[in-house]
């Protein structure tokens, strides 16, 4: 039985949300267009996205409007009676850091706070970063994690990888978009393939977790997660370069939202989800016109499926995605439209920019 005082308790993507961290954004220097960046975004490179100037600074407009939208989103969730927390800005603007391993980067904002953490039960699991510039990102969440620890939460952090070129396994990219694989540079620091996986590669379904494993880095991360969550039934899939909340998002027990372009049939889903009602979003519902700046988008037009459930009925969705909103209503959901203008440029939407720290309910078994 969990400690009633503990502020952290979350077993699914849909139980009633009580406390959530919503990310923030500050001036972003485009992540160094390095091996970690290329391998992480390989599905989109494969689809022809490109970055005109890999070393450019993100225009201030995206930062200011992104922050405006996050503030408005925070207020809307507060009006729902949800306790909203925000990261601490410990960097004063673009901060370049270097490492003893021959690489450097600009510290990234804790914007897509879903990515480098998995909350399961009363435990915060900080996952080992996949992208070099995100190496210190979770430090912006530490003040909150200390508060949660003092309230009774368990806090586990994975070994930080040294992330030399040869730390990365590029087998997924070689298989799916060979021209983007690039070549690793050997250094004296190499220790071989390392554990690297994001929390956003997981979807929590009570006693079961779906996990996307696309390479040997993820496989080692999966081993680490299983050792730390021994009672969880994990279901391994490989449907993306890393994160799956741009491919499939469970909305409620028995109801799943998927990107129909990437998951055209249910047999691509893990067996336990094949009996669920699948709401398939097609090109028709995806709002290409809602976004601009294709050439600096980190996320695909499917980012509108990256929704956040407030409970088994209410789901936060991009206000501009009008056809998606109609599709959700047709399938019995109550959409909560919220403005989020730059999910593609910023590489994430409502599921990405949130970490659902506490949802009301116990660890249910939805499959036996
Ligand atoms: N947690 C996240 N940042 N997820 C974003 C996934 C976006 C997905 N790769 C796409 O391009 O549509």
Model pLDDT, residue 287:
73
Is the model's pLDDT at 325 over the cut of 60? Answer: yes
- Beta carbons of 212 and 237 less than 8 angstroms apart: yes
Q: Output the CA 119–ligand 1 centroid distance in Å.
A: 18
For atom 8 of ligand 1, which residue has the closest CA? Answer: 246
Euclidean distance between CA atoms 86 and 144, whole angstroms = 8
Model pLDDT, residue 368:
85
Task: For residue 44, name the pLDDT band (cuts at 50, 70, 90).
Answer: confident
Q: Output the CA 26–ligand 1 centroid distance in Å.
A: 19
What is the best residue among 245, 345, 353, 356 to mutate for testing ligand 1's pocket, by most ligand atoms within 8 Å of CB? 245
At 106-120, the pLDDT tens digits run 899 999 999 999 999
Q: What is the mean pLDDT of residues 4-16?
A: 95
Model pLDDT, residue 280:
96
For atom 6 of ligand 1, which residue has the closest CA? Answer: 246
Q: What is the mean pLDDT of residues 210-238?
A: 98
Model pLDDT, residue 204:
98
Model pLDDT, residue 138:
98
Mean pLDDT, the chain, integer? 93
Q: Output the CA 323–ligand 1 centroid distance in Å.
A: 20
Looking up tokens 């070129």, which residue turns up? Answer: 165
Is the model's pLDDT at 89 over the cut of 70? Answer: yes
Task: For residue 99, name the pLDDT band (cuts at 50, 70, 90).
Answer: very high
Provide the whole-model pTM. Answer: 0.96
Provide the edge-to-edge strand list for the sheet that holds 208-212. Answer: 202-205, 208-212, 233-237
CA-to-CA separations, 277 to 14, 82, 250, 257, 266, in angstroms, rounded? 15, 28, 10, 9, 10
Annotated catalytic residues are 198, 243, 352
User: Which is nearest to 217 in space by CA: 131, 111, 318?
Assistant: 131
At 235-284, the pLDDT tens digits run 999 999 999 999 999 999 999 999 999 999 999 999 999 999 999 999 88
Task: For residue 1, name the pLDDT band (cuts at 50, 70, 90).
Answer: very low
Q: Output the CA 243–ligand 1 centroid distance in Å.
A: 6
Q: Which atom of ligand 1 is nearest to the CA of 115?
A: 1
Looking up tokens 């979003």, which residue turns up? Answer: 281
| Cβ burial 24-47 (10 Å sphere, 16+ → b, else e) | bbbbbbbbbebbbbbbbbbbbbee
Model pLDDT, residue 301:
87
Q: Which atom of ligand 1 is nearest to the CA of 112?
A: 3
Ligand 1 pocket residues where CB is under 6 Å: 44, 112, 114-115, 200, 243, 245-246, 299-300, 302-303, 306, 347-348, 352
CB count, 10 Å around CB of 191? 11
Q: Which atom of ligand 1 is nearest to the CA of 352?
A: 1
- Give percent of the chain with pLDDT exceeding 90: 80
The DSSP code for 121 is B
Euclidean distance between CA atoms 183 and 298, whole angstroms = 22
What is the best residue among 290, 307, 348, 356 to mutate for testing ligand 1's pocket, by most ligand atoms within 8 Å of CB? 348
CA-to-CA separations, 169 to 31, 38, 128, in angstroms, rounded? 20, 12, 15
Q: Output the CA 149–ligand 1 centroid distance in Å.
A: 29
Q: Output the CA 159–ligand 1 centroid distance in Å.
A: 24
Is the model's pLDDT at 42 over the cut of 80? Answer: yes
For atom 2 of ligand 1, which residue has the closest CA? Answer: 352
User: Which is nearest to 242 in space by CA: 112, 102, 358?
Assistant: 112
Is the model's pLDDT at 159 over the cut of 60? Answer: yes
At 306-316, the pLDDT tens digits run 999 999 999 99
ipTM: 0.96
For atom 5 of ligand 1, which residue has the closest CA? Answer: 348
Q: What is the mean pLDDT of residues 350-366?
A: 98
What is the best residue among 246, 324, 348, 356 to mutate for testing ligand 1's pocket, by most ligand atoms within 8 Å of CB? 246
């Amino acid at each position: 039985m969990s400690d009633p005082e503990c502020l952290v308790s979350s077993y699914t993507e849909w139980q009633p949300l009580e406390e959530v961290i919503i990310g923030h954004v500050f001036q972003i220097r485009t992540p160094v267009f390095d091996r970690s960046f290329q391998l992480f975004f390989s599905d989109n490179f494969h689809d022809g996205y490109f970055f005109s100037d890999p070393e450019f600074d993100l225009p201030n407009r995206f930062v200011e409007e992104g922050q405006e939208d996050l503030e408005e989103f925070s207020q809307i969730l507060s009006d729902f009676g949800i306790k909203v927390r925000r990261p601490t800005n410990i960097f004063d603007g673009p901060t370049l850091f270097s490492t003893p391993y021959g690489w450097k980067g600009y510290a990234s904002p804790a914007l897509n706070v879903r990515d480098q953490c998995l909350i399961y039960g009363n435990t915060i699991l900080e996952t080992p970063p996949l992208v070099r510039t995100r190496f210190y990102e979770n430090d912006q969440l530490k003040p909150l994690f200390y508060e949660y620890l003092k309230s009774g939460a368990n806090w586990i952090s994975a070994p930080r990888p040294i992330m030399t070129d040869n730390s990365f396994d590029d087998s997924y990219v070689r298989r799916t978009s060979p021209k983007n694989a690039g070549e690793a540079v050997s250094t004296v620091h190499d220790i071989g393939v390392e554990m690297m996986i994001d929390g956003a590669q997981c979807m929590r379904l009570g006693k079961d977790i779906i996990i996307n494993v696309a390479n040997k880095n993820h496989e080692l991360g999966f081993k680490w997660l299983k050792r730390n969550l021994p009672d969880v039934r994990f279901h391994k899939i490989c449907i993306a370069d890393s994160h799956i909340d741009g491919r499939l998002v469970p909305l409620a027990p028995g109801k799943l939202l998927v990107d129909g372009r990437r998951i055209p049939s249910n047999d691509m889903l893990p067996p336990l989800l094949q009996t669920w009602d699948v709401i398939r979003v097609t090109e028709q519902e995806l709002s290409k016109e809602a976004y601009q700046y294709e050439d600096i988008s980190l996320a695909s037009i499917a980012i509108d499926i990256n929704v956040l459930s407030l409970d088994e009925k209410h789901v936060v969705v991009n206000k501009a995605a009008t056809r998606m909103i109609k599709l959700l209503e047709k399938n019995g959901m109550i959409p909560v439209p919220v403005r989020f203008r730059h999910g593609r440029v910023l590489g994430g939407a409502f599921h990405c920019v949130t970490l659902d720290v506490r949802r009301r309910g116990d660890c249910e078994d939805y499959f036996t």
